[in-house]
Amino acid sequence: MIIHVVGGFLGSGKTTLLIKIAERYIADGKKVTILVNEAGEIGVDGASISSNGLNAIQLQEGCICCTLSGTLQSTMRDIERELDPDVVIIEPTGLALPHKVRELIRGTVSEDEINTIGICDAMRFDRLREKKEDFLRMQLQRSDVLWINKIDAVDFEKVFEVSTWLRSICPNVPIFMVSGKTGEGLEEAFSKSLLL
Ligand SMILES: Nc1nc2c(ncn2[C@@H]2O[C@H](COP(=O)(O)OP(=O)(O)OP(=O)(O)O)[C@@H](O)[C@H]2O)c(=O)[nH]1
Ligand SMILES: [Mg+2]
C-alpha cells in the first residue's frame, strides 16, 4: 500500500491535484482511497469522487496532525483492513505539518511506501512569503518531492523565483512545475513522484 501525503498551505491546490493523482492511478487500474481532513464543501466533492469508483473518507472537526492524530491512526488501520487499496492519498489541512502526518502513519506501512508531496502556490507566493515565510518553510521542508502549482497563472520569472526559494530550503528535493488547472507538467511530475 502506497501512501501519498499531499501537503501545502490553504488554497495551494491540494484537492485539485489529489483528484488528478487519484484519476491517474484509477486509469492504471489501481484501487484508491482518498482521506481528506476538511470540513464542509469537500463533502460534495467526496460524493462525486466516490461515484467514480474510489473511496473518499473525510475527517472533520480537528486536525489529523494534532487533535485527530489517534483518529488518523485508527482510520488508516480501518482503511487497510476493510478497503485494502493499492494507494491512499491523504490531504491534511492547509495549516497542518505533513511530516507530522508522516510520523503518525509510519506504523501502518513501511517508511519507503510513504511519499510526502509538498505543494507550493506560485500565484500567491509573494504574499505568502511576506507574511508566512517561516511557516511555509516548516510545512514544506521535509517533503520527498515538491510541486510548484498554478504555473498557468504566473510568468516564468515567478516560477524561477519560487524554485530558487524552494531549492534554498530543500536543497536535495526534486522540484516539479505543474498546473492542476491545465494539466501542464503533471505527467512528468507523476512519473517521477508517484511510485507508479
Ligand atoms: N490558476 C490555477 N488555479 C488553481 C490551480 N490549482 C488549483 N487552483 C484553484 O485554487 C483554488 C484552491 O484549490 P484547492 O484544490 O481547493 O486547494 P486546497 O489546497 O485543497 O485548498 P484548502 O483545502 O482549502 O486548503 C481553487 O479555486 C482552484 O480552482 C492551478 O493550477 N491554476
Ligand atoms: Mg482542499
Give 83's DSSP letter: I
Report pLDDT for 44: 43
Q: Is residue 159 within 6 Å of ligand 1 at its C-beta? A: no
Report pLDDT for 43: 47
Our CA dihedral for 63, 69, 73, 78, rounded to 10 degrees, sits at -50
* 75 contacts 118 by C-beta, under 8 angstroms: no
Domain ranges of the chain: 2-191
Q: Which residue of 6, 9, 15, 140 sits with most ligand 1 atoms within 8 Å of its CB, as the best mutation to test the pocket?
A: 15
Q: Is residue 13 within 6 Å of ligand 1 at its C-beta? A: yes
* 35 contacts 148 by C-beta, under 8 angstroms: no
Q: What is the DSSP string of 137-190?
A: HHHHTT-SEEEEE-GGGS-HHHHHHHHHHHHHHSTTS-EEE--TTT-TTHHHHH
Residue nearest to atom 14 of ligand 1 (CA): 13
- Edge-to-edge strands, sheet with 2-8: 55-58, 32-36, 87-91, 2-8, 114-121, 145-149, 175-177
* CATH T-level assignment (fold) for domain 2-191: Rossmann fold (3.40.50)
Which ligand lies nearest to the CA atom of residue 35 in the structure? 2
pTM: 0.94
Q: Is residue 153 within 6 Å of ligand 1 at its C-beta? A: yes
Q: In angstroms, what CA-CA distances link 118 with 11, 85, 154, 193?
A: 13, 23, 19, 11
Q: Is residue 37 within 6 Å of ligand 1 at its C-beta? A: no
Report pLDDT for 50: 57
Give the side-chain half-sphere CA count within 13 A for 159.
17
Distance of alpha carbon 113 from alpha carbon 164, whole angstroms: 28
Rounded distance from Cα 16 to ligand 1 centre (Å) = 6
- In the block, residue with C-alpha cell 488528478: 20
Report pLDDT for 60: 84
Q: Which residues of the chain have pLDDT under 70?
A: 39-53, 196
| Amino acid type, 14 | K
Q: For residue 24, give the H/E element and its range.
A: helix 14-27
